[in-house]
Copies of this chain bind each other. A is one copy, B any other.
């Protein structure tokens, strides 16, 4: 038994789709969430910058005594080198491997699509993870750089005309490839689940990396006797690098919940986690 919190981090609010799944599967766990809203988006940033930012966030979460780290962000997961993630003092999960495993289990025709940020598509992390499991699978990637700003700007309603236009514009690239499974390779994208599902008017199974990662975390904690012993519901605390008010306003769409009393803005670049004076 281990009552320490689970640490979940993302460049912004996207990782809240993973947090939501972890809360649903593991309701007695405390969670510390970190969203780097002051420096998002990560998807268009260079590899070195993403690694540097991720290491600052990991140091901050370790200072909160987390028992496990979850990079609930496709870009960070696909960028952080094994040399970093394997040498952490606590277990680390990204969203790439869990999503790749699920896609390989679900695909019948071994033709798998991946939509993600530019960085994730460029480094082909999902493709490499899929080929480790199913070497013959064909993987078709499509960078969708406008989907994160779209979600952050709250264009998520099923009938939002601009969201439908942009989703349809990107998915058109995948149409010739006859995929039967599509990984939503960025944790923002599940917010567009219904629009993506409707736009794909042929039969494609969608894989939500946040959901798959939550399942892996549950299995890991159970197998290692690391579940919380608590009987009441776990608490969540939220840290972010831009306005807490703005964060909570977008978070309420993701979580259908008011988290203002648990949210706090901090500055990790200058003081490694001190609250700004």
Residues of A bordering B, CB below 8 Å: 37-39, 41, 44-46, 48-49, 118, 145-146, 148-150, 152-153, 161-162, 165-166, 169, 241-243, 245-246, 269-270
A243-B52 Cα distance, complex, nearest whole Å: 12
Count of chain copies: 2
Q: Judging by beta carbons under 8 Å apart, are B153 and A162 in contact?
A: no
Chain B residue numbers with a CB within 8 Å of A39 are 38-39
A163-B158 Cα distance, complex, nearest whole Å: 22
A269-B46 Cα distance, complex, nearest whole Å: 17
User: Which residue of chain B has the shortest Cβ distance to A36 in the bound complex?
Assistant: B39
- Knowing A242-B45, A243-B48, A269-B270, the reply to whether A162 touches B146 (Cβ < 8 A) is yes
A246-B145 Cα distance, complex, nearest whole Å: 15
Chain B residue numbers with a CB within 8 Å of A45 are 37-38, 242-243
Q: Judging by beta carbons under 8 Å apart, are B166 and A162 in contact?
A: yes
Chain B residue numbers with a CB within 8 Å of A153 are 44, 118, 145-146
Q: Closest CB-CB distance, A168 to chain B, in whole Å?
A: 10
Chain B residue numbers with a CB within 8 Å of A118 are 153
